[in-house]
């Protein structure tokens, strides 16, 4: 079975400081990794996925298969980045459609 | 497009009762997934519906059942409610034609079991 671990429940950084939200996964096959974000009083929404290899709102994430990690990074945090962040995994192929989520990390950007 | 909509927003039930939650997918989407999110946890997959059939199921008991209608909307039914069923229930929709990779979430239904 697959598992997603987000070791930090809460991460506080100052505005302008770099941010790294950690995500580790366990799955023996080929995974597809995602980062979802939930801003205050808003619904869960996709931030980025490793397949697209794009930068969204200044965030990037690289899939490291050797370390089974998919950390989310941003060089300079902004106050509007304060939100709940969830890392999620989907098994590629084998007719698997479910997302397996981590428990989430609450990012607080201090002005 | 209002995106994924869910009803009701909040619900209070007592142990042993039954509940039905509803979801309308985003326009153009044909697949609906249901997740349970307990307090302080990430969403947990319950099941997914496509073409009115349950296509995949997570680790949830048979008390949890669902249905998808021809217009792609879906219902989640939970029988014999337990205190532990108190959670936020999220519906997510996606499109098979679009690869099904991006799931769009609704605002959720907050279920409280007393």
Task: Give Cβ neighbours of residue B33 (< 8 Å, ≥ 6 apart).
Answer: A97, A98, A99, B45, B46, B47, B48, B49, B91, B92, B93, B94, B103
pLDDT value at B78 more than 90? yes
- Average pLDDT on A78-96 reads 89
pLDDT value at A72 more than 80? yes
Closest C-alpha among A47, A18, A17 to residue A33: A47
Enumerate chain B positions whose Cβ falls within 8 A of a Cβ in A: 3-4, 31, 33, 35, 40-45, 48, 55-56, 58, 90, 92, 100-108
Q: Give chain A's domain count.
A: 1
Determine the pLDDT at residue B63. 98
A19, β-bridge pairs:
A74
Contact B102, B35 (CB under 8 A): no
How far A91 CA sits from the closest chain B CA (Å)?
Answer: 11
pLDDT value at B53 more than 70? yes
- Average pLDDT on B21-31 reads 95
How far B82 CA sits from the closest chain A CA (Å)?
Answer: 22
Determine the pLDDT at residue B97. 72
User: CATH code at A29?
Assistant: 2.60.40.10
Please write the tens of the pLDDT for every residue from A14-63: 999 999 999 999 988 888 999 999 999 999 999 998 877 788 899 999 89
Taking one residue from A and the other from B, the number of pairs with CB-CB distance under 8 angstroms is 55
| CATH topology classification for B5-113 | Immunoglobulin-like (2.60.40)
**Chain A from 13 to 32: CB within 8 A of any B CB:** 32
- Average pLDDT on A84-88 reads 97
Phi, psi (rounded to 5 degrees) for B85: -80, -5
What is the C-alpha separation between B108 and B8, in angstroms, rounded? Answer: 9
Please give the structure tokens belonging to residue B21.
Answer: 């939650």
What is the C-alpha separation between B32 and B43, in angstroms, rounded? Answer: 15
Please give the structure tokens belonging to residue A24.
Answer: 């580790």
pLDDT value at A95 more than 80? no
pLDDT value at B100 more than 70? no
pLDDT bin (cut points 50, 70, 90) of residue A97 is: confident
Q: Identify the residue among A23, A38, A43 best suited for mutation to test binding to B, counting B beta carbons within 10 A and taking the highest.
A: A43
Write the Ramachandran bin of A34: left for phi over 0, alpha for psi from -120 to 50, otherwise beta: beta
Residues in chain A, overall count: 111
Contact A72, A35 (CB under 8 A): yes
What is the C-alpha separation between A90 and A101, in angstroms, rounded? Answer: 9
* Domain limits for position A70: 3-110
Determine the pLDDT at residue A94. 61
How far A37 CA sits from the closest chain B CA (Å)?
Answer: 11
Are B44 and A90 in contact (CB < 8 Å)?
no
Determine the pLDDT at residue A98. 87
């Amino acid at each position: 079975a697959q598992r997603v671990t987000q070791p930090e429940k809460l991460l506080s950084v100052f505005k302008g400081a770099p941010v790294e939200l950690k995500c580790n996964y366990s799955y023996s096959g080929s995974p597809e990794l995602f980062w979802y974000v939930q801003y205050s009083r808003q619904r869960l929404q996709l931030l980025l996925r490793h397949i697209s290899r794009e930068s969204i709102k200044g965030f990037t994430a690289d899939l490291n298969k050797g370390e089974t990690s998919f950390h989310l990074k941003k060089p300079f945090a902004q106050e509007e980045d304060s939100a709940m962040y969830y890392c999620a995994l989907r098994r590629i192929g084998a007719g698997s459609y479910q997302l397996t989520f981590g428990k989430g990390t609450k990012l607080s950007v201090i002005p | 497009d209002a995106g994924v909509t869910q009803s009701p927003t909040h619900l209070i039930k007592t142990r042993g009762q039954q509940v039905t939650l509803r979801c309308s997918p985003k326009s153009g989407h044909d697949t609906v997934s249901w997740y349970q999110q307990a307090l302080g946890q990430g969403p947990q997959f319950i099941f997914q519906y496509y073409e009115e059939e349950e296509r995949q199921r997570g680790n949830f008991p048979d008390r949890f059942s669902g249905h998808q209608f021809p217009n792609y909307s879906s219902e989640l039914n939970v029988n014999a409610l337990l205190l532990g069923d108190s959670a936020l229930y999220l519906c997510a929709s996606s499109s098979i034609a679009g690869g099904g990779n991006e799931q769009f979430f609704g605002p959720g239904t907050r279920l409280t079991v007393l």
